[in-house]
Amino acid sequence: MTAIAKSQPSYPRLALILGALAAFGPLSIDTYLPALPTIATDFATTTAAVQQTLSAFFVGLALGQLFYGPVSDRMGRRAPLLFGCAMYTVVSIGCAFAGSTIGLMGLRFLQALGSSAGVVIG
């Protein structure tokens, strides 16, 4: 009889995926900063008002890390990570269609909650 060879897990691929997930939070900040003046112009508001959306993102990122740590210890890593990625994706689409600074602020907060799953678990 011939033995069936089990496929070895691809650790380099896993490392790349987890690294990309961990970069969601920082990339969401770095790609957003250059657009602040344009967003202020589009919403007909001040740059200071749009900067509050960045503050909301930082608060969401901090609170999300406090949430996902214990949840991943209790439930495992896969479910919270998939939930966070799905939340990040859906809310990012919502951010693209935000109609006001207040709406964008709330969506950026939720986006940070989703991206913090990658920061904690990745």
pTM, two decimal places: 0.86
The SS3 call for residue 76 is: coil
Residue 36, token pair as written in the block:
């602040």
Please answer whether residues 105 and 56 qualify as being in contact, where contact means their C-beta atoms are separated by less than 8 angstroms: yes
Strands, DSSP E only, in the chain?
none
Task: Return the pLDDT at 25.
Answer: 85
- Cα separation, 18 vs 51, in Å, equals 29
φ/ψ (deg, to 5) at 98: -65, 140
Each of the 122 residues of the chain gets a pLDDT tens digit; together they read 566 666 666 688 888 888 888 888 888 889 999 999 999 999 999 999 999 999 999 999 999 999 999 999 999 999 999 999 999 999 999 999 999 999 999 999 999 999 999 889 87
